Structure 1
Amino acid sequence: MRTAYHEQLSELNKTLGQMCELSGTTMEHATQALLQADLDVAERLLEDSKGMSKLVADAEEQAFRLLALQAPVAGELREVVSGFQIAADIDRMYALALHVAKVARMRHPDPALPEEVRGYFAEMGRLAVRLAQGARDVLDTEDASAALALDTDDDAMDDLHRHLFSVLMDREWPHGVAAAVDVTLLGRYYERFADHAVAVGRRVVFQATGQTPEQIVGSVESD
């Protein structure tokens, strides 16, 4: 009776997965532009945002179609509303990746990052890409344990973010206010990217089950 609904929901989740993949790839390339002061990469990312715009429009259209034509009720309505929220989180991830590319472009031909913090951002970029891929995997599997596992990388990102401030607050910081502002903003972009990836994983599980990942894993462990 609800075959059409489930097929359309599957299409929506497929589009969300493509959005997640694009966000991760964009952050990977933006980090490359940042670390290598690569103007070509930064400009290419900033000039080629049509792909994400189309995916966002597709996701919204698919979600509205589900609301208008399939008259979802109870759990189905939760699934559709969660789809809107997931799309918003992923779109924000993409925007944060573009913010990184903008800083790389703005500071060219000089590197945006002082040598003291380059290692931090290399690792933050790696974690961001892994979190995006992890969120994509949760979209595919709806696995509560995988959603919870995203918290580990998010905690590592938070640790790096905190350590950045210890470097910035060092009295021996020789790079001036502008560099400190850049590093502060960039750290925040990566930290927020991670937060949205974790939110995607949690929303996917709630979309599918009506429960948080903790509730599902806890109930399994108590059996």
Structure 2
Amino acid sequence: MRVIYNEQMADLASLLGEMAGLAGSAMDRATQALLQADLAAAESVIGEYDRIEDMIADAEERAFALLALQAPVAGDLRQVVSAIQIVQDVNRMVALALHVAKVARRRHPNHALPEAVNGYFAEMGRIAVHMGEGAREVLENRDPERAAQLNEDDEAMDDLHRHLFTLLMDREWKHGVAAAVDVTLLGRYYERFADHAVEIGRRVIFLVTGVLPPDPDSEA
């Protein structure tokens, strides 16, 4: 039974890592759609969503089956509960990439963003993709040091988000209310994507060490 449990947990960890990688890839293409008014890129993200959702449902089912059938305790229970929570974080990351793609599609053939903020979103997209890849790495390797680095990446994302908000509040903003609403929502999508990657890192640290790091948002 122990061998079976270990194999099932390894398979689940691999699936979670694959899904985190797909979330990063989806945000990469969604950002391309946003910055280049690329309808094909937006549609590829939207079209892939159902497949990833099926993978998420499969991962959740596997985790609950382990909880119900293996009756884990102590460290094993920590692994299973953390896996269930990580599934939800990956789910939100995928959904946030989908939201970005839908904004790009809705504004097509026009660009969703004023040119003045393109640089912000190019960098926020780069950080988000990097964090998605980082989440994949820590899920597969369970490296607590790499997991902790996700919080540093998130600080860069938060800085960009604050600067973006300052720009929106500037009296020099001349791009209208609709553009301001889109920029506000999109900025929030990227910020939340990064937050969920950080949460995955916290869960992996908890898996390895048994100690859950403080929530950085609660300390702010």
Name the TM-score, length of structure 1 as normaliser. 0.92
TM-superposed deviation, 1:208: 3.1
Matches within 5 A, 1:1-223: 2-212=2-212
Alpha-carbon distance in structure 2 between the residues aligned to 1:80 and 1:10: 11
Residues 114-142 of structure 1 deviation map (CA, whole Å, 9 limit, x = unaligned): 01100000000000000011111111221
TM-superposed deviation, 1:47: 2.3
Q: How many residues align?
A: 214
Residues 41-93 of structure 1 deviation map (CA, whole Å, 9 limit, x = unaligned): 21222122122112112201211221222121122111101100000001100
Alpha-carbon distance in structure 2 between the residues aligned to 1:48 and 1:89: 18
Q: Specify the code of the residue in structure 2 equivalent to 1:168.
A: L
Alpha-carbon distance in structure 2 between the residues aligned to 1:168 and 1:148: 31
Alpha-carbon distance in structure 2 between the residues aligned to 1:47 and 1:132: 20
Is the Cα contact below 8 Å between 1:83 and 1:207 reproduced in 2? no
Q: Which residue in 2 is equivalent to 1:217? A: none
Is the Cα contact below 8 Å between 1:135 and 1:200 reproduced in 2? yes
Alpha-carbon distance in structure 2 between the residues aligned to 1:44 and 1:152: 30
Is the Cα contact below 8 Å between 1:89 and 1:196 reproduced in 2? yes
Is the Cα contact below 8 Å between 2:113 and 2:183 reproduced in 1? yes
TM-superposed deviation, 1:172: 1.4
Alpha-carbon distance in structure 1 between the residues aligned to 2:144 and 2:208: 10
Alpha-carbon distance in structure 2 between the residues aligned to 1:153 and 1:127: 7
Listed as ranges, the gaps of 5+ residues in structure 2 are 215-220
Is the Cα contact below 8 Å between 2:96 and 2:190 reproduced in 1? yes
Q: Specify the code of the residue in structure 2 equivalent to 1:166.
A: T
Alpha-carbon distance in structure 2 between the residues aligned to 1:168 and 1:64: 44
Q: Which residue in 2 is equivalent to 1:221? A: none
Q: Which runs of 4+ in 1 moved over 4 A?
A: none
> What RMSD, in angstroms, separates the aligned Cα atoms of the two structures?
1.3
TM-superposed deviation, 1:213: 5.4
Alpha-carbon distance in structure 2 between the residues aligned to 1:140 and 1:46: 26
Listed as ranges, the gaps of 5+ residues in structure 1 are 215-223
Residues 97-116 of structure 1 deviation map (CA, whole Å, 9 limit, x = unaligned): 00000110111111001011
Residues 178-207 of structure 1 deviation map (CA, whole Å, 9 limit, x = unaligned): 000000000000000000001001101212
Is the Cα contact below 8 Å between 1:33 and 1:41 reproduced in 2? yes
The percent identity for this pair of structures is 64
SS class of match (2:172): coil
Is the Cα contact below 8 Å between 1:90 and 1:196 reproduced in 2? yes
Q: Specify the code of the residue in structure 2 equivalent to 1:82.
A: S
SS class of match (1:24): helix
Is the Cα contact below 8 Å between 1:23 and 1:94 reproduced in 2? yes
